[in-house]
Structure 1
């Protein structure tokens, strides 16, 4: 008897079932779907369409963003214990003091070199494309205080008003009051404290350190379990945050400063290509393998604009790429706090953009100072949304560049923040795969 072919409705139902199973088993596909749907809904609710009143659209946007805020709050709740326990555990499992020094020196060299290259790329692109000259004269009038609330709307960063303050800045890195640093969410202080505790643990007898390390392992496991719960909200978080962003910004803002946005995106693309090249040449990890392993990770970083918020996922991605657990637990938290090459590139373009807007010509020496300052500032900047704007204002003011043009930068900062965060997270993963050979279980090349 010949086998009967399935009816078309049955075939369609079977294909739908396969598609549903494919999407539900892949977080990156869910996140991508949420991003696309959120973008479309944001366009429908934007002021340009006129489908709803702006006040009503704003209320809808707030409710749409609720899952995203809950997602970020859950991550923020466990972020400090997760960072502390992962760094301490990573240091204790890094092996001998010589191996530990090797990891630290290689990571420091990677961060310093890539951040310097990134800032230089930003300067070169801004000098070549000159995105601010097309809008020359914009800054003749004063900025709208409602749009540029530099005191209230932007997170605080350490002041950089004079070179004489540098010794104080170095001393202030040490968490003299660890409890206050934890309460205030000072990630750099928490990282420094974890580094000091982790190094000290490696020099204590195993018997005495064992209970403390067992506690750190339990804290890390509990924190990662809460992160696993939060990941169920990730697609809905991306959907709501994307819809709110597109609804508020619209296409008009993007079209008005396409030169500036294009310069930053071109620079980030160049930096991303550099990361891919480094991973391929020095770690034998192909771009395809890297993107395949980190797809959902990078989409989450793009949507949340926070390398710290997605740090637990980045650790898991590093493990997928064959990075030993002790190296991943050490390198990724440090990278999420200090590896901000994408931010340095963005700030370099923005500084020269502001100078071109105001008609200020910077000398080669001044540009070199800008690069050095941005490298130092980016390495110590928290991996949270908006903090780069505060650094940008400080550097521009110190260089005598008017900041009235910040109105333009603030209009698209959220979008560019999303892009540079994804690049920063890629840099963290590349750093991890570069340092995996220091671990105990090197992996096969891709």
Structure 2
């Protein structure tokens, strides 16, 4: 007991508390500067030469290590399953639960936006001003759609013709995961004694990646402070109140899915929702701060171990889920499309809303787990149902705040998904439940 307290004291303040302090500090200082000296030349210099470079370096360090981490985690997760039938069983369960959770999220969002109709209350003058301010960026986002594969091309692009090219492209992350999946299957099918040295090398890559990210993550509180300062010093209080009705509907829908849908899913997996949310708060806060599922993957993997999820399942499900299980993204896309439809007076039929729901589910699977990864998908869906895609300029002022909120839901959803999948693996479920019970005691 004494040793445990000594170790806890030596560890110092938990990381999520440090990140919370950094978040609050950046928010408060940004608000003060916004209202006292937002137009001062020295503020622009601070943003350009201090806060933006620091936050960018932090995110780049994380993204630099994501490719080796994702590859090694997925390969090891597949290889440790021991047989292809186990992989198939877990893979199909992961896909099934992903569709159910994502479909539920989109349905919640569509119901709430139809009930509260946030687009009907937007000030047209302010909206037009926002469109004018963000016209150039909106055009750039829409132009990026020309480089996005669609239909059969999207399906075929999952199988990479060049693995190195896939590893160097954010948009090809599914291709990289497919290669890692096939590589892991190949290791399972090969003689164990011949692939054992290779497995140890890949395990070494995983450990080195986690160690380096553990060092980098110590910079998170400072990076979070810089990110929040940059956001608030530009928009001030308007980052919260601008398009208030739209923001409230998105946040409320995310909260309903987080605390009701996920609680039900956790009960079905045999876990206490309260203990789960308490145990995963570090990953949730990290996701909220960085607005990136991929950047939060290392933290999510560590948290999964801490709450007693089986490593061989969590490495597989969390790595895949960082790109494929994005409940918050799908919900956000659905609410945003209907909000823009209400604002522009486009009356969407029930069939069109079902189409929006289906595309949002697919879009959640294919959206890159990086900041602002949902915007091109929103523009694409708008064009499909007759809404001016340039309308995304309306929500750019508050997009980053909502991006942070939906990413927090995405990462928490990945951990919920892992709990559901693990609960149906008898040997794993028994050990994980026992460990979770011990941690609660």
TM-score normalized by structure 2? Answer: 0.90
Does 1:272 pair with 2:258?
Answer: yes
Q: Is the 8 A contact 2:138 2:390 kept in 1?
A: no
Give distance in 2, aligned partners of 1:131 and 1:306: 26
What displacement does 1:137 show?
4.6
More helix by percentage: 2
Equivalent position of 1:244 in the other structure: 230
Q: Is the 8 A contact 1:154 1:387 kept in 2?
A: no
What displacement does 1:363 show?
0.5
Indicate which of 21, 35, 38 corresponds to 1:33.
21
Indicate which of 181, 195, 205 corresponds to 2:191.
205
Further displaced range: 344-353 or 274-283:
274-283
* C-alpha spacing 1:113/1:245, structure 2 compared with 1 (3 Å): same
Equivalent position of 2:3 in the other structure: none
Equivalent position of 1:338 in the other structure: 324
Give distance in 2, aligned partners of 1:155 and 1:404: 11
What displacement does 1:387 show?
1.4
Does 1:174 pair with 2:159?
Answer: yes
Give distance in 2, aligned partners of 1:113 and 1:276: 11
Let me know the Cα RMSD of the aligned residues. Answer: 2.4
Give distance in 1, aligned partners of 2:228 and 2:206: 30
Does 1:369 pair with 2:355?
Answer: yes
What displacement does 1:65 show?
3.7
Where 2:388 maps in the other structure, the secondary structure is: coil
Equivalent position of 1:14 in the other structure: none
Aligned residues: 423
- 1:119-153: CA deviation from partner (whole Å, max 9, x where unpaired): 11111111110000112756779942754423536
Does 1:83 pair with 2:70?
Answer: yes
Give distance in 1, aligned partners of 2:123 and 2:299: 43
What displacement does 1:230 show?
0.5
Q: Is the 8 A contact 2:141 2:375 kept in 1?
A: no
* C-alpha spacing 1:140/1:183, structure 2 compared with 1 (3 Å): closer
* C-alpha spacing 1:193/1:151, structure 2 compared with 1 (3 Å): farther
Indicate which of 377, 381, 401 corresponds to 1:391.
377
What displacement does 1:278 show?
3.2
Equivalent position of 2:305 in the other structure: 319
Equivalent position of 2:212 in the other structure: 226
What displacement does 1:345 show?
0.6
* C-alpha spacing 1:248/1:24, structure 2 compared with 1 (3 Å): farther
Larger radius of gyration: 1
Give distance in 2, aligned partners of 1:225 and 1:115: 32
Q: Is the 8 A contact 1:158 1:169 kept in 2?
A: no
Does 1:135 pair with 2:152?
Answer: no
Further displaced range: 208-217 or 270-279:
270-279
Where 1:117 maps in the other structure, the secondary structure is: helix
What displacement does 1:404 show?
4.0
Does 1:101 pair with 2:88?
Answer: yes
* C-alpha spacing 1:432/1:354, structure 2 compared with 1 (3 Å): same
Further displaced range: 176-185 or 73-82:
176-185
Q: Is the 8 A contact 2:291 2:403 kept in 1?
A: yes
* C-alpha spacing 1:357/1:171, structure 2 compared with 1 (3 Å): same
Further displaced range: 54-63 or 199-208:
54-63
- 1:196-216: CA deviation from partner (whole Å, max 9, x where unpaired): 111121111112221221111
Within 5 Å, give how 1:54-65 maps onto structure 2: 54-62=40-48, 63-65=50-52
What displacement does 1:336 show?
0.5
- 1:4-51: CA deviation from partner (whole Å, max 9, x where unpaired): xxxxxxxxxxxxxx9x959933111111111111110110121xx133
Equivalent position of 2:387 in the other structure: 401
What displacement does 1:284 show?
2.5
* C-alpha spacing 1:240/1:153, structure 2 compared with 1 (3 Å): farther
Runs of 5+ unmatched residues, structure 2: 1-5
